[in-house]
Amino acid sequence: MTVRDLLLTLRTRWRIVVATMLVVVAATAYLTLQIQPVYQSSSRVYLLANNQTESTNVYNMPAAELATVIQVATSPIVLDPVREQLGVGPGTMLQVQASRSGDTPLIDVTVRAHDPQVAADAATAVPQQLAAVARNFSPMLQMSGSAVSAETVVPAAVPGRPVEPDPERNLALGALAGLLLGVAFALARQALDQRVRGTADVEAISDRPVLSTIPMRKADDAHSIYLELDPFGPQAEAVRQLRTNMMFVDVTTGKHSFVISSTLPGEGKTTTAVNLALAMSDAGTKVLLIDADLRHPSVGTTLGLEGGVGLTTVLLGDADVHDVVQPWGGNNLHVLTAGEVPPNPSELLGSSKMHELFERLSEQYDFILVDTPPVLPVTDAMVIEKLTGGMLMVVASGETRKRHVSEAMRVLETTGTHVAGFVLTKAPAQPSAYYSYYGGEHASTRPDGPRKRKRRQGKRDKRMSKSRPHAEAAASARAERAVDGGEALEFRSRARQRLDRRNGSG
């Protein structure tokens, strides 16, 4: 994994990192509160050996005897009398450490206890008790008849705060541990994640380009016409980008037609086909959108058109194609719905009549888009692709699994299907400079001064004046579709009359 992959993973799964860190910090805080505080107090003393003629420091003793005396300070011989003196029970914490202070003739005594007063009193009492029993562990002192006394150099003080636990240190360590654990969880989740999340996942599976990434609109249903709902939104702009890239791809094929499919249902292929067809028609291209998904047709439903007669009606010879093609939104976009669902979709799509019909339509329209069933369940898309310039694969971000894309590409490669590129749909919405320019939902709401607000208002007025022609064009398109609705009624009436005459003659 590269540094770029690591940063991308952390950016995508930062919630896991933050949540893990907060849980660890909370657990650390809870455990810290449960720990009984420990207080520490220290004293420094000077041991003297006194006899009738002189007073000498006990450091004149042999090193072995001195080490023994210091070790006695932590033994029950000293601690039991101290406990009895302070009234501390045997089960109560009382930790004592005694050591020589460097090369000086001084002894440091450190005591830890749960009570600060007990710690200070014990740090004072332990050296005195040690002096009382030191003679018993030193042959030199016994031979000289000397008594040992402890002279306090640094008295023990009552501690004001505990040495354990240390909340600041514990929380800092907890935050660090939580951060590392969260990063580990995020990397593990990324490694185990089998869903396509971005263009990098698609590029790792296939060498075909990702022609566009269409962000998700949470407020819309599954069949959204982006160019009508929000002409200046990021979805509409992504579709226009797809239109431009498709024009470049079409230069290499020269057939001016593409199949739009996906690995499995529900990835947005029909929505992509409808919006792409509308974007191409807006550019002045005469476009035909064919609903060749004869198993679950949805183009007619999405566009609000009659779907009872269409492609299957023409292939069965019950109507002429000019009688069933329906205009939508103006003069450039025409739609051939699926018609009635047949029992043999693959045979119909692979028939010679379909081949002849497609050649005939290719001469009459500048561009043809064909919405087909998904690749993995059935072979309809591969059959239609042979008539077109290639296939546009739609992949849903966060839904499509990588293994399904790999399996679909293997199937397409086996059948010799040419994949022109991919479209990544349902991608997480990202703020864009284009959308913010038109004052969309991602525009900045940062408060500014009066001058900046005035300048921004002036720019907004200019944008409104520029966008007014677009609004008028949209209103005109809606009026034309209202007229088209009447044409659709007349179209259905003519189609039904032809079917009745044909059935009557049969």
Written as six digits, the tokens of 113 are 């206890």
Q: Is 51 left (phi over 0), alpha (psi -120 to 50) or beta?
A: beta
The average pLDDT across 126-154 equals 80
Inform me whether the pLDDT recorded for 501 exceeds 60.
no
Range among 23-27, 51-55, 134-138, 479-483 rated most confident: 23-27
Residue 273's nearest CA partner among 261, 285, 257 is 261
Residue type, 106: L
Nearest to 234 by CA among 248, 250, 247, 220: 220
What is the CB neighbour count within 10 angstroms for residue 31? Answer: 12
More confident residue, 501 or 281: 281
Q: In angstroms, rounded to a whole number, what is the distance separating the alpha carbons of residues 220 and 223?
A: 8
pLDDT at 46: 84
Q: In this predicted model, what pLDDT tens digit does every residue of 396-426 receive, in sequence order?
A: 998 899 999 999 999 999 999 999 999 999 8
CA distances from 99 to 3, 67, 103, 397 (A): 51, 9, 11, 67
The full set of domains in the chain, from first to last, is 3-35+165-192 (no CATH), 39-154 (3.30.70.1130), 199-439+447-505 (3.40.50.300)
Tokens of 246: 């498709």
Q: Is 148 helix (H, G, I), strand (E, B) or coil?
A: strand
Q: Which amino acid is at 466?
A: K
299-350 pLDDT, tens digit per residue, is 998 898 888 899 999 999 889 998 999 998 777 899 999 999 998 899 999 9
How many CB atoms are located within 10 Å of the residue 427 CB? 22
DSSP string across 94-116:
-EEEEEE-TTSS-EEEEEEESSH
pLDDT bin (cut points 50, 70, 90) of residue 437 is: very low
- Predicted confidence at residue 370, as pLDDT, reads 96
As beta bridge partners, residue 421 has 392
What DSSP state is assigned to residue 401? B
pLDDT surpassing 70 at residue 254: yes
* Residue 240, pLDDT score: 93
163: DSSP letter = S
Residue holding tokens 């044409």?
Answer: 487
Strand partners, 336: 290
The helix/strand/coil state of 47 is strand
Distance (Å, whole) CA 382 – CA 399: 23
Q: What is the pLDDT at residue 367?
A: 94
- 239-253, 309-323, 361-375, 422-436, range with the lowest pLDDT: 422-436
* Number of Cβ within a 10 Å radius of residue 157: 14
- Supply the pLDDT for residue 12: 79
Q: Rounded to 5 degrees, what are φ and ψ at 255?
A: -95, -15
Q: Which of 318, 368, 364, 361 is nearest to 339 (CA)?
A: 318
User: In residues, how long is the chain?
Assistant: 506
465 CA to centre of own chain: 39
DSSP 50: E
- 379, 383, 385, 386 alpha-carbon torsion, rounded to 10°: 150
Name the residue type at position 491: F
d(C-alpha 14, C-alpha 361), whole Å: 51
Tokens of residue 448, six digits:
């500014």
| pLDDT band with cut points at 50, 70 and 90 for residue 201 | confident
Which value, to the nearest 10 degrees, does the dihedral of the CA atoms of residues 208, 212, 218, 224 take? Answer: -100
**Burial class of residue 2, CB neighbours in 10 A (0-12, 13-18, 19+):** exposed
298 pLDDT more than 60: yes
Torsion of CA 338, 342, 344, 348, to 10 degrees: -40
Tell me the backbone φ, ψ of residue 314, rounded to 5 degrees: -70, -45
Element (H, E) at 117: helix 116-133
In this model, does residue 138 exceed pLDDT 60? Answer: yes
pLDDT for residue 49: 75
Return the higher-pLDDT residue of 300 and 64.
300
Residue type, 399: E
DSSP string, 404-443: HHHHHHHHHHHTT--EEEEEEEEEPP---HHHHHTT-TTS
What is the helix (H) or strand (E) element at residue 371, kind and residue range?
A: strand 367-371
